[in-house]
Amino acid sequence: MPAFPTNFQIQLQELFRLRRDVRRFRPDPVPEDLLTELLEAAHHAPSVGLSQPWRFVRVDDPARRQAVIAEFQRANDAASAVYDSDRARLYRSLKLAGLKEAPVHLLVCVETDPDSGHGLGRQTQPETLRDSAVCAIQNLWLTARAKGVGVGWVSILEPERLREAMDLPATWGWVGYLCIGWPLEEPEIPVLEIAGWDHRNPLAKHLLQR
């Protein structure tokens, strides 16, 4: 396997550091060929048994988008109710989705019974199909950031409430709903950190030796 030049390695680390979840978008369209490049990057992700279980749904239909926006508003109101006073106030001040502004809505699903991969790996850990689809999202997310495109993952939705509106094949599971577009801002640290919601931990807190 060819080694990548040192300069590239440094820039790759910068890409990891500067990738952001984006909730504020300019309304300008994203060219189709650029979107295809993002999907090609996603399609190069690792997958259990080479099952390639990711499935992408472009949500362009205004009525379907409206259903997602309404479900987000419902779920977000419900979520804010679990916090007490100061934290609830802070929660309500956060912008947690760019659904109305983002020119592209992309639903990433997982095929739970893929015809590729011959079941390798998932007999013991069936959840690895979903894990593979998440790897695809990460590829897309990083490629988008490298190209100046913003991606925001919206999880404040109950997928079961949207299945009918999306009319998904029965074997497709919901993985992630992504807003994609040109970012209005490109902060160097997570927006939730800027807002005082939480902070990035030192790596040592996430390491265990056995």
Give me the residues that bind ligand FMN (CB under 6 A), please. 20-21, 23, 96-97, 153-156, 190, 192
Q: Which residue, 97 or 166, has its beta carbon nearer to ligand FMN?
A: 97
| Minimal distance, residue 94 CB to ligand FMN, in Å | 7
**Three-state secondary-structure class, residue 20:** coil
The least distance separating ligand FMN from the CB of residue 42, rounded to whole angstroms, comes to 15
Nearer to ligand FMN (CB atom), residue 17 or residue 118: 17
Q: What is the DSSP string of 122-176?
A: TTT-TTHHHHHHHHHHHHHHHHHHHTT-EEEEE--S-HHHHHHHHT--TTEEEEE
| H-type alpha helices, the chain | 6-18, 32-42, 62-80, 85-93, 128-146, 159-166, 191-194
- Which lies closer to ligand FMN via its Cβ, residue 164 or residue 198? 198
The pair of three-digit structure tokens given for residue 56, joined into one six-digit string: 């992408």
**Any residues with CB less than 8 A from the CB of 112 and at least 6 apart, and which?**
53, 129, 171, 172, 173
109, amino acid identity? C
Considering the complex, what minimum distance in angstroms separates the CB of residue 138 from ligand FMN?
9
Considering the complex, state which of residue 117 and residue 157 has its C-beta at the smaller distance from ligand FMN: 157
- Residue nearest to ligand FMN as judged by C-beta position: 190
Pick 2 or 196: Cβ nearer ligand FMN: 196
**Shortest CB 187 distance to ligand FMN, Å:** 8
Residue 64 CB, nearest approach to ligand FMN (Å) = 18
For the chain, what is the largest distance between any 2 Cα atoms, rounded to a whole number of angstroms?
55
